[in-house]
């Protein structure tokens, strides 16, 4: 793809993200995404995170396979989830589900540090190498079970979960700072899933808000404890 056509594809993707945000705004409360988030989306080369035979599809607003029965998320959902956590330059963010590293790369341009956990070893290694090769040294990838979070790097200003869990893992709520926000798809595989915003106030009180229907791959590894 020529530089001109690539830029056209990026611009078209950003326009589609803006249109999707507007159409879902009544549900998400985010009819317009922040300029910081949109600049971060424009700056990350999505084509670097997909297989060579999918290069022509890299700038479409759609999920794509990355192997191991996993996907790189739809760019609109990446942008929305990023916007929902209100990323600040000094934030330390936990990501559950590194996958290709695309979401982590977007976060890396917006926050101080990203701790990212991936349960599939091959994906964790490839993502770590890719992100380091792109000079994103504020992302640290760990091969571990996302249900447990990454306590060593916490507590976190925000948490982004890129795979669906039947319930919200208690360990992730515990690792969220007072005043922090977590966005997570909740629901069964192949069943109704909902994107949920979890907020913890200054006193540690937790509230959950369902936003819109989504479809994510499942959060694999050890099952979280069910809430009573």
- Higher confidence at residue 191 or residue 107? 107
pLDDT of res. 25: 95
For residue 223, being part of any structural domain is answered with no
Cα 67 from Cα 9, distance rounded (Å) = 24
pLDDT (tens digit, 9 = 90+) per residue, 214-225?
A: 999 889 875 443
% of residues, the chain, pLDDT over 90:
86
Q: Please say if 73 is a catalytic residue.
A: yes
pLDDT of res. 92: 98
For residue 57, being part of any structural domain is answered with yes
Return the bridge partners of 194, or none: 186, 213
pLDDT of res. 227: 33
For residue 102, being part of any structural domain is answered with yes
User: Is 70 exceeded by the pLDDT of residue 192?
Assistant: yes
Domain count, the chain: 1
pTM reported for the whole predicted model:
0.93
CB neighbour list of residue 76: distance below 8 Å, 6 or more residues apart: 16, 17, 20, 21, 61
User: Is 90 exceeded by the pLDDT of residue 228?
Assistant: no
For residue 35, being part of any structural domain is answered with yes
% of residues, the chain, pLDDT over 70:
96
CB neighbour list of residue 48: distance below 8 Å, 6 or more residues apart: 130, 134
CB neighbour list of residue 165: distance below 8 Å, 6 or more residues apart: 147, 184, 185, 186, 218, 219, 224
- Higher confidence at residue 119 or residue 6? 119
155 upstream amide cis, omega within 30 of 0: yes
User: Is 60 exceeded by the pLDDT of residue 201?
Assistant: yes
pLDDT (tens digit, 9 = 90+) per residue, 99-149?
A: 999 999 999 999 999 999 999 999 999 999 999 999 999 999 999 999 999
pLDDT of res. 206: 96
The answer to whether the CB of 206 falls within 8 A of the CB of 200 is yes
In this structure, of 65-69, 84-88, 108-112, the range with the lowest mean pLDDT score is 65-69
For residue 11, being part of any structural domain is answered with yes
Report the chain's mean pLDDT, rounded to a whole number: 93
Q: Which member of 23, 34, 73, 144 is catalytic?
A: 73
For residue 226, being part of any structural domain is answered with no
pLDDT (tens digit, 9 = 90+) per residue, 147-165?
A: 999 999 999 999 999 999 9
Q: What is the domain extent for residue 149?
A: 3-214
Distances, alpha carbon 71 to alpha carbons 139, 178, 225, in Å: 20, 32, 26
202 token code pair: 């200054």
In total, the chain counts a number of residues equal to: 228
For residue 221, being part of any structural domain is answered with no
pLDDT of res. 1: 66
pLDDT of res. 6: 84
Query: What value does the mean pLDDT take over residues 61-66?
Result: 94
Query: What value does the mean pLDDT take over residues 59-82?
Result: 94
pLDDT of res. 56: 86
pLDDT of res. 115: 98
Cα of first residue to Cα of last residue in the chain, in angstroms, is 53
Return the number of other C-beta atoms located less than 10 Å from residue 45's C-beta: 14
pLDDT of res. 166: 93
For residue 88, being part of any structural domain is answered with yes
The answer to whether the CB of 82 falls within 8 A of the CB of 160 is yes
Q: What is the CATH number of the domain that holds 27?
A: 3.40.50.150
């Amino acid at each position: 793809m020529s530089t001109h056509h690539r830029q056209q594809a990026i611009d078209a993707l950003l326009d589609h993200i803006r249109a999707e945000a507007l159409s879902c705004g009544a549900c998400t409360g985010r009819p317009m995404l922040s300029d910081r988030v949109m600049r971060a989306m424009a700056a990350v080369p999505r084509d670097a995170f997909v297989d060579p035979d999918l290069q022509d599809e890299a700038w479409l607003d759609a999920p794509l396979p990355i192997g191991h029965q996993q996907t790189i998320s739809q760019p609109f959902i990446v942008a929305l989830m990023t916007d929902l956590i209100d990323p600040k330059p000094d934030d330390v963010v936990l990501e559950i589900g590194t996958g290709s590293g695309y979401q982590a790369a977007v976060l890396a341009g917006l926050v101080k540090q990203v701790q990212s956990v991936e349960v599939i070893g091959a994906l964790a290694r490839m993502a770590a190498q890719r992100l380091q090769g792109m000079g994103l040294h504020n992302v640290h990838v760990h091969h571990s079970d996302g249900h447990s979070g990454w306590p060593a790097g916490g507590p976190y200003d925000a948490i982004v979960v890129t795979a669906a869990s039947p319930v919200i893992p208690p360990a992730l709520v515990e690792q969220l700072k007072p005043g922090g926000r977590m966005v997570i798809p909740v629901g069964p595989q192949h069943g109704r899933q909902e994107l949920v915003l979890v907020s913890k106030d200054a006193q540690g009180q937790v509230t959950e808000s369902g936003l819109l229907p989504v479809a994510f791959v499942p959060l694999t590894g050890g099952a979280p404890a069910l809430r009573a």
